[in-house]
Structure 1
Amino acid sequence: MAFWPGITMAAVKPSGAYSSPIKPSPTYLFETARLGFRCFTGADEVLVYQLNSHPQVLYYLHELPVSPEQALATLHNSLLAQYRAYGYGRWAVYIKASHAFIGWCGLKYRPERKETDLGYRFLPEYWGQGYATEAARACIAYGFTHYHLARITARAHIENIASLKVLENCGMQYVQQETAEGVPVKLFEIFP
């Protein structure tokens, strides 16, 4: 039985009403039909640099491309720090068939807002193929079933139509328009 198209049901049903579209994997932390998710490691500076130095990836984020040194700092001070502090974070995403790194997707606890945020970044050559929606759905399911989160939020730039569509396709509900880090965004949320 499919929870969402292309994502198989997990072998173990979680407690509560939210069903899981993910399955465990010996290679990845979890996987979907096409994608594998793993934790970043201290050796992933090049992957972070690939994403965070690409102008198209950063366009709606209003961030400047980073240097290799800045990518290393982001890896250790943000991505790996989230795992240490909260047990989850943004995960490296791969196409299982080719083992190609395509970006990251995952959860980030934001203590200033007391909420867990869904976020994603993918390399442009993988846009428009449904990977962002598939990854976001899997991360939402993983957050609810593995971490028993009560709510997951997400924000996207008001002009980033593709990202807004991903959030809608994941079943997230629009809450309001606001400003986050000086950028006009739409806030979405989803509950288990």
Structure 2
Amino acid sequence: MIVKTHNLYLRRFTADEALLILDLNADSAVTQYTHDPIRDIVHAEEILHQVIIPQYERGLGRWAVFLAETNAFMGWCGLKYRPELDEVDLGYRYHKAFWGKGYATEAARASLEYGFNEAKLQRIVGRAEHANIGSLKVLEKSGMQYIGDETVDGCDVRTYEALAVNFIKEL
């Protein structure tokens, strides 16, 4: 387990959990703003082994999120180093059944705390498309500050950041 909160626990994905990723991405509402559909189980395995698991070596990662009360897989949340931008970003994705209940904000905040307190990061960014109101609310409620609009990966996004010095003061 990486992080435990009041309602959730976040842990590393295991090498045999590609089906969790495939099932999550099978819902077009979940991937509406992500622009990275998972085609099939082979593709999900590639994402797991080439993108998700290698981040764990850095002490970061997109972690599997579970509801503590039932052990239900909810989705993922966590931190990812993006070498092309030389930054760490906060990302998350959940099954629709868990939207609008505050769980994404709870996991995002816990991920930020982990990033600053455990990984000793100084800055974490988060981005969402302008139309993705739910994700924008998560970024704001988790304590990140809006810093501007930009185009990243071919998408127009709102960019937020959290700085260790400012974030730790809030806690």
Same topology, TM > 0.5: yes
Residue 127 of structure 1 pairs with residue 99 of structure 2: yes
Alpha-carbon separation, structure 1, partners of 2:19 and 2:63: 15
Give the counterpart of 1:81 among 54, 65, 71: 54
Task: Tell me the alpha carbon deviations over residues 142-191 of structure 1, each in whole angstroms, 9 at most, x when there is no partner.
Answer: 11000110000000011101110111111111111111111111110011
Tell me which residue corresponds to 1:48. Answer: 21
Task: Tell me the alpha carbon deviations over residues 76-118 of structure 1, each in whole angstroms, 9 at most, x when there is no partner.
Answer: 000001113x121110000000000000000000111111100
Residue 38 of structure 1 pairs with residue 8 of structure 2: no
Q: List alignment gaps of at least 5 residues for structure 1.
A: 1-27
Alpha-carbon separation, structure 2, partners of 1:65 and 1:91: 17
1:62 shift after superposition: 2.3
Give the counterpart of 1:70 among 40, 43, 47: 43
The within-5 A match list for 1:133-152 is 133-152=105-124
Structure possessing the higher radius of gyration over alpha carbons: 1
Tell me which residue corresponds to 1:114. Answer: 86
Letter in 1 for 2:19: V
Is the Cα–Cα contact under 8 Å of residues 150 and 157 in structure 2 kept in the other structure? Answer: yes
Alpha-carbon separation, structure 1, partners of 2:105 and 2:79: 14
Report % sequence identity.
46
Superposed CA RMSD: 1.0
Number of residue pairs the alignment of both structures matches:
164
TM-score, scaled to structure 2: 0.93
Q: List alignment gaps of at least 5 residues for structure 2.
A: 165-171
Is the Cα–Cα contact under 8 Å of residues 172 and 189 in structure 1 kept in the other structure? Answer: yes
1:29 shift after superposition: 2.2
Alpha-carbon separation, structure 2, partners of 1:106 and 1:83: 11
SS of the counterpart of 1:56? coil
Task: Tell me the alpha carbon deviations over residues 49-91 of structure 1, each in whole angstroms, 9 at most, x when there is no partner.
Answer: 112222111001123342111001000000001113x121110
SS of the counterpart of 2:33? helix
Tell me which residue corresponds to 2:71. Answer: 99
Tell me which residue corresponds to 1:60. Answer: 33
SS of the counterpart of 2:135? helix
1:34 shift after superposition: 0.2
Higher mean Cα deviation, 87-96 or 62-71? 62-71
Residue 153 of structure 1 pairs with residue 130 of structure 2: no
Letter in 2 for 1:70: H
Tell me which residue corresponds to 1:16. Answer: none
Is the Cα–Cα contact under 8 Å of residues 62 and 183 in structure 1 kept in the other structure? Answer: no
Letter in 2 for 1:104: W
Alpha-carbon separation, structure 1, partners of 2:117 and 2:37: 35
